[in-house]
Structure formats: C-alpha cells, structure tokens
Chains A and B, each alone.
Chain A
Amino acid sequence: MTAVRLQAFARQAATILVTLFGLLILTFAIGRLMPVDPVRAIVGEEADQATYQAVYQKLGMDRPVYEQFFRYVGDIARGDFGTSVRTGRPVIDDIASVLPATIELATIAILCGAGLGIPLGILAAVRRNKPTDHIIRFVTLLGHSMPIFWTGMIGLIIFYATLDWVGGGGRVSDYNVGIVDERTGFLLIDALLAGDWEVFWDGVNHLILPASILGYSSMAYITRMTRSFMLDQLNQEYITTARVKGLSTARTIWKHAFANIRVQLVTIIALAYGGLLEGAVLIETVFSWPGFGQYMTNNMLVGDMNAVMTCVLIVGVIFIALNLLSDLLYKIFDPRTR
C-alpha cells in the first residue's frame, strides 16, 4: 500500500518538475524574443561602446543560449529573479509587496462568486428547463460575456459618479492612504489590527465594487459546473429512494445531493480562483488597484522584461499550485479515491 502511494507521489512530483521546467523554458524563450535590448535598458541610450560591452558580458549575453538558460534556471533556483529596471529593486520584493492587494481582491471576489454561484447552480438544477433555469443561465452567461474592464467602468459611472454609493479608484480614499501600518499587506486586516474602523470601512467601500464585478465574471463558470454536478446526482436512484422514504425536497437536496458534490465544488473553486488573476490584470487597471496586475501591465508598457517574465512565471506557479491543491483536497475529502 505504502509502496503504491510512494510511487504515485513520485509520479506526481516528476510531473510537477517537468511542468515547472517547461514553464522556465517558456519564460526564457519569451524573454529572449523581446525586442527590448536588455543591455540598453540598463546602460541607457548614451552609454559608450566599452560600457555596453562590459554589461553585455556581465549579463552573459556572449555565452551560448543553453548556457544562458542554465544560468537563468540557476539564478531562479537561488531565489534571484533579477532586478526591475523601472524600480531598481529586486523583482521578487516588488511582487511580494503588490501581491497582497490582489489576493485580498481575488479572495473577496471568489467569496461573492461562489456564494451566489453555488446556490444559483443548485436552484437551476432543481428547476431544470423551467423559466428559473433559463433566467439563471442567461444572467450568469451575461457576466461571462462582459468585457470585465468595461463592466468596471460602467460600475464606476453608475455607483461612484452618479449614485456615490462606493469609493472610486485605489484601495482607500487619498486622505486614508498610509494611515495604518503595513503589517500583513492586506489592508482590511491591517486596519483591523490597528483598530482603525474608519480606514476599514473606507477599504470595504473601495473593495466592494471591483470584487463583486470580478466575482460576477467567475460566477458563470461556478454556476454552470454546480448545475451539471447537481443534475448528475439528482438523476441517481438514491435520490428517488430518499424521496420515496418521505424526505422533504430541501433535505434531499442539501443532505444527500449537495453532500456528494461538495468535493467537486472545492476543485472548481480552486481553479476559478486562479482564473481571477486574469480578470485582476484588467480590473486593477480600471480601478487603479495597486496590485499584481497593475504592476505587470505597467512594466510591460515600459518593457521591463525581468519584471514581466517573473510575473508570468509566478502566475504559472500559482496555477500549478492550485491544481495540485485541488487534487489534494479531492484525495483528502473524497473517500472513494483512497
């Protein structure tokens, strides 16, 4: 038994390593394709030939491609992701300081998306092919079809400019920036730790619109999957048995059918969470949200390739980690996979 497990574990570890290695090849290749001359980016336009050559050699650009690649992998293995040309700081430090803002946004967004998507999916499955089902399908599909940056702007026009219900761009209003100490990087948690309720509510006020728009876009996927998982369960005989025994509809749905799809749902939510990173790139631009997405696009526009490629690499790693996590949760919670 343990031997089998160990083998399965080794196989999985090998798969992850291969995928990671592929990821590195990809980012390295894209980095080399970049029309921006990395040496020029460091020495500037006016540097003389000697300086240029010196940096050229220091970067190892005169070595063969495969040597450059191993050097790149080696640097990353040692935790050296290079320096951002734009900020002059190590890229990884930059990313560590912007990531919490995005995680905060994405977490609230997934709570909105799953909190609404799962009940709607169950309702749609129970009322299959009835008007309720069609309406839910349309509403969620609409969220899936909207260009998210546009939804963000329309949201700002309606709820910020016209109704003045929510805050505008940024994580807090200008006069609240830097009031609370940055301990975790998560603004809401920092405000709570500092006991500053004003900043906390201001933060919530700014977070609610981008998070719900981001959540709406992931709701379509969550609802659709919940509906189809639920339909699979509702068509099975144990549900009929439960009904024949005289269990109420609500009890059958929640105690029997829902209990059986919980594990699948966790997997779906983990994947949807990763997908939110994509939406975050766009929504952060609209809401001037100082997070990972904005960092990535800003660096892209100035051609800071160390920063951009590290961002891509990190997204890839997060995706692999989420896939792994969902696999793991499946194994832990689903007794059939043991």
Chain B
Amino acid sequence: MAKLSVTLDGAALPAARRTTPLTRLGSTLAHLWRDPSSGFAMVVIAILLLTALFGPFLASHDPILVDLPNALKPPSAANWFGTDELGRDIYSRIVYGSRITLFIIFLVSIIVGPIGLIIGATSGYFGGWVDTAMMRVTDIFLSFPSLILCLAFVAALGAGLENAIVAIALTSWPPIARLARAETLTFRNADYISASRMQGASNLRIIIKSIMPMCIPSVLVRITLSMASVILTAAGLGFLGLGAQPPLPEWGAMIATGRNYMLDSWWVVTFPGVAILLVSLAFNLLGDGLRDVLDPKKH
C-alpha cells in the first residue's frame, strides 16, 4: 500500500508541475499586474529596460564629456540633476549607467543559473556522498555574507566591472543550487525518470534532459528574488572602488566620487543613490509579489 502511494505521488508530480511558473507565465504576470506594488515594480523595471535601450536619445549630454567651468552646478533646466566635479551631466550619466546595471544583472543571471542548476541537479540526482560533499561546499559558501566573499574574490582577481560580476556570480549560486537540489529530490524517483533510465539513458542525459528543465521555472524565480541584493552588492563594490572603474558611469562608483563633495553639493550623491534604490526596491517588490502568487499555501 505504502509502495503504491509512493508511485502515485511520483506519477502525479510531473503532471502538477506542468502547470507551474513558466508555462503559466501569462497568468502569473496578469496576477502581478493587478497587485499595486508588483505593478509599480514592473513599471520601474520596464523604465530601466527602455532607458538602457534608448539611452542615447534620452540623455541630454555626453556622459563622459568633461566641462570644468560647469563643475558642481546644482540642478537646473540645462542639467536636470546638476553636474559632478568634472562638470559632467549627472542625469545623462545615470541614463547611461542603467546599461551597466542591466549588463550586471544579465551576466550574473546567465552565470549563476547554470552553475546552480548543475550543482543542485547533480547533487539531488545522485544523492549519497556526492550530495553530502556538494552540499558541504554549498554550505561553506553560504556561511559568508555575500559582500565579504565578493570582496575576497575581487581582491584576488583585481578590481574592475567584469571581475566584480564574476565575484558576485561566484557568491550567489549557493541558494540556487540548494533550490535545484530540493526540486530534484521531489522527482528523482518519478516514473518518467525510471522510464528513461530503463530505456538506457545515461545519468548525464537524464540530468540534462529530464531533470534540469523541470527546475528551470523555480530557478528563474529565485534569480529574480536575489536580483535586488546583486544590484546592491555591485553598487557596494563600485562604491569601494573595486567594481566599475572611472569614467564608467556606474551608479555606485558615481556615489563614491561624489562623496568628497557631498556636504556642499548634495545632488552629486543623491540622484545616483535614488536610481539604485528604485531598481533594488522594484526587484524586492516584484520578488515579494512573485512569492505571494506562487505560494502553494494560497491556492
């Protein structure tokens, strides 16, 4: 009897899974849109995308053009957010900075997703000592606050935007691996896995063809949830001078240079910070909304 129910569970799971996130994307988005805070989040993220895309048309000035006579001018009709210590237009720099932010988000996602998926799926599929060893490693990475570990990696690799991205990716895969493993455990004994094994599929083939695709929806959601902290970590590295280097208009680095002038010229640090805040708030709100929509307890 017990055995029977196990098989039934296993068989029932894939069917239930077919109706989860990715295939229900349309209804999930519609759901989120109706929630005011998630709606706001989606608007902000859309604006970020459009700003990055149409940057040259939206910017009023050249973001790296030095204009010393105009240094540290307060916000005005000519320079909406004022100018920085080299007379560069802060509004235009923020507009171009959105491209760097998107670049970071995009690269971190495409590095972290596969790493987490491979480690999690392998670990969950094989179980036993492979699982124990891999999860120990994951735990060691998890036992650090991400910024500290990032600092260590950047110190090793050298400062710079690309290295900062690699460092962030190297520190943010553990939660995704954990999740992929948990997902894998729920269907590693499912009938369709046994079926493909009986047909002679290799372990590698089963992991890549049958297990990893099933984990993708929840992994995507998890990546969205961690985006806010990725953005804040990147900005923090930029602020410490370990991320994007001048004259790149990265928002964190803009705040770092503005720090020397902030007591007399508040606008130099204020506007780039508002930009970071809005984007990370948007991802946090969206994450909250996603969690609510996808929470099984609610349905």
Which residues of A does B touch, CB under 8 Å?
A: 18-19, 22-23, 26-27, 30-31, 33-35, 134, 137-138, 141-142, 144-151, 153-154, 156-157, 161, 274-275, 277-278, 281-282, 285-286, 296-297, 300-301, 303, 305, 308-309, 311-312, 315-316, 319-320, 323
Contact = CB atoms under 8 A, between A and B. Distances in A.
Interface in B144-174: 144-149, 151-158
Contacts of B284: 141, 144-145
B151 A300 contact: yes
B152 A278 contact: no
A19 B145 contact: no
Interface in B118-162: 136-137, 139-140, 143-149, 151-158
A282 B239 contact: yes
- Residue of A145, A157, A316, A319 with most chain B CB atoms under a 10 A cut-off: A145
B239 A147 contact: yes
B281 A282 contact: no
Contacts of A274: 145
Interface of B: 37, 136-137, 139-140, 143-149, 151-158, 228, 232, 235-236, 239-242, 252, 255, 259, 262-263, 266, 269-270, 272-273, 276-277, 280-281, 284-285, 288
A134 B280 CA distance: 18
Nearest to B228: A145
| Majority SS at the chain B contact face | helix
A305 B263 contact: no
Contacts of B149: 312
Given A30-B155, A30-B156, A150-B255, 6 more contacts: A278-B146, A296-B148, A308-B155, A309-B152, A312-B151, A319-B144
Contact of B269 (A144, A154, A303): A154
A315 B151 CA distance: 12
27 contacts: A22-B136, A22-B140, A33-B157, A34-B156, A134-B37, A138-B37, A141-B281, A145-B284, A146-B273, A147-B232, A147-B255, A149-B239, A150-B272, A150-B276, A153-B273, A156-B262, A157-B263, A277-B145, A278-B148, A296-B148, A297-B151, A297-B240, A305-B155, A312-B148, A312-B149, A315-B145, A319-B144
A154 B240 contact: no
B59 to A, nearest CB: 22
Contact of A35 (B140, B158, B242, B285): B158
A27 to B, nearest CB: 7
A158 B191 CA distance: 63
B155 A146 contact: no
Nearest to B143: A319
A141 B277 CA distance: 11
Contacts of B236: 147-149, 281-282
A215 B240 CA distance: 21
Contacts of A275: 145
A145 B139 contact: no
- Residue of B37, B152, B269 with most chain A CB atoms under a 10 A cut-off: B152
Nearest to A313: B152
A289 to B, nearest CB: 14
Contacts of A22: 136-137, 140
A271 to B, nearest CB: 10
A154 B270 contact: yes
A32 to B, nearest CB: 8
A244 B54 CA distance: 62
Nearest to A220: B284
A143 to B, nearest CB: 10
A303 B273 contact: no
A142 B285 CA distance: 10
A84 B139 CA distance: 29
A281 B266 contact: no
A19 B143 CA distance: 9
A19 B132 CA distance: 12
A210 to B, nearest CB: 15
Nearest to B147: A278
Nearest to B233: A278
Contacts of B266: 157
Contact of A150 (B37, B273, B285): B273
Contacts of B288: 137, 141
A27 B136 contact: no
A147 B276 contact: yes
A30 B166 CA distance: 14
A124 B90 CA distance: 39
A216 to B, nearest CB: 13
B273 A315 contact: no
